[in-house]
Amino acid sequence: MPSIRTLNRRSFLFATGVALPLPWLECMAVGDSREQTPPRRFASIYFPNGVGQPKSEPLAKYRWWPAGKGQDFKFSNTLQSLEGLREHVTVVQGTEHATVRRTNGHACGDVWLTGGTITGDTYANRVSVDQVAAEQIGRHTRFDSLIMSPEGGIGIRTRTSTLSFDRNGQPIPAWYDIPKIFARMFSDGSRDSLARSRYRLRMNRSILDAVSEQSRHLQRQLGAADRQKMDQYLTSVRETEQRLGRTEAWLERPKPKVETDTSQFMETPKGSTELLRAYYDLMVLAFQTDSTRVATYQIARENGGPFDRLTQPIAGVNWHGISHKGYLEQEEHSAKWHRVDRWCADQFAYFLERLKSVREGEGTLLDHTMVLYGCSQNYAHTPKNYATVVAGGNRLGLKHGQLLHMPENTPFANVLYTLLTRLELPSCPKFFADSTGPINEMIA
């Protein structure tokens, strides 16, 4: 029987009118240099309201931060579920966005991935790091990025319900409905639904063509300031055109078939733990099937909201309520905050273990996926010393098993830029936001 020499990552099996995408196979690691290794991926996970870090020694057992330094560190009780993943995890201490240093910590979720500016009446956001990556590697997948939060949409300024922002600093709506997200990624739908999708694409193209032509005509009649605004608008139109083009190209291709039990995605889970794990499982499936290589997940938005109650079953208190300064050094309060922090970390560990369980090439899905987990504030609404964990990417050049104490006021953008460089983008920027360079201690 002749042997199979090489296969492209996008190879399909065809039989009786059905096309099934192949998983990543060893024979795909030969030939075209672009197919020699599994793809590089990036996931960002944000939790709100800071972390418990009581100052008094009797309450030290409730602190979020580990003790020690470098490789000689001990996970806190809060992060204990990460102990079994030590070789895949780095905890980073001492970073911040200087552009929001004097802002209420709840406002800073908007700029966690962007490094934008919020000071007083000034709100000047910029592109998020996930979208910088998605612009270049998103064309290889059905979805350039997967953006999720339990509320969906964009929320409001300084209380955003999305982590992702475009080149104009405008928020990109998040998906929230779990059954619909699953259907979008894995359900091909009927011929009628495909016909409707094609019709909508044609209509949207017609509208964009008309708007673009009128805008260019109008632009010639505007002053300098208005021309700048119109440039931003036309950039958004061009980005929309590009997304429509990618959507149209993928419309004819069958979606991946999922071999595992998918009943959990048929309805939105009622329990808090089940809800978080459903979102995490969606990310694993999206990466495993190469539906996307970039994902963001906001567990809940800052300063309350409908999903602030996620922590009620865990600690008997809403998430936002436990972050208030007046209660911070009380034993009962610190114990509750610790339970919330630990529950959140336990679900993150579940996600990492799921990624680790999927074999891919000579490693695992976790080895080929960089994961950023954290918050844009620390203790008592303070937007400094961001609680930060970087995980995965062991085969992408990241070094782990360490607690890094960065010099005070180190730009958090250095963390973001370090991860960006590990993606090996065709055209990697020379810096991101106010980054001063990569964090060498994170690089193997």
Spatial separation of the C-alpha atoms in residues 294 and 276, rounded to whole Å: 18
Domain boundary among 209, 232, 253: 253
- Dump pLDDT digits (tens) for 400-413: 999 999 998 899 99
Residues 272, 200 share a domain: no
Residues 244, 365 share a domain: no
Residues 142, 69 share a domain: yes
Q: State how beta strands 294-298 and 146-148 pair.
A: parallel
- Dump pLDDT digits (tens) for 76-101: 999 999 999 999 999 999 999 999 98
Domain containing 424 equals 37-182+261-442
DSSP code, position 378: -
Residues 139, 284 share a domain: yes
Spatial separation of the C-alpha atoms in residues 103 and 92, rounded to whole Å: 22
Strands (E), 224-366: 294-298, 359-360, 363-364
Burial of 314 (0-12, 13-18, 19+ CB in 10 A): middle
The number of folded domains in the chain is: 3
More confident residue, 36 or 132: 132
CA distances from 304 to 104, 311, 320, 337 (A): 14, 11, 5, 15
- Dump pLDDT digits (tens) for 227-269: 666 666 666 555 655 555 555 555 556 677 676 677 778 788 8
- pLDDT average, residue stretch 45-67: 94
Tokens of 86: 């030590």
Tokens of 261: 């039990």
More confident residue, 116 or 211: 116
Residues 159, 74 share a domain: yes
Residues 274, 163 share a domain: yes
| pTM of model > 0.85 | no
Residues 276, 374 share a domain: yes
The answer to whether 292 touches 261, Cβ cutoff 8 Å, is: no
**How many Cβ atoms sit within 10 Å of the Cβ of residue 109?**
28
Residues 148, 112 share a domain: yes
pLDDT over 80 (residue 6): no
Residues 339, 410 share a domain: yes
Residues 193, 177 share a domain: no
pLDDT over 90 (residue 18): no
- Dump pLDDT digits (tens) for 151-172: 999 999 999 999 999 999 999 9
Residues 219, 163 share a domain: no
Domain boundary among 198, 225, 253: 253
- Dump pLDDT digits (tens) for 172-191: 999 999 998 988 887 765 45
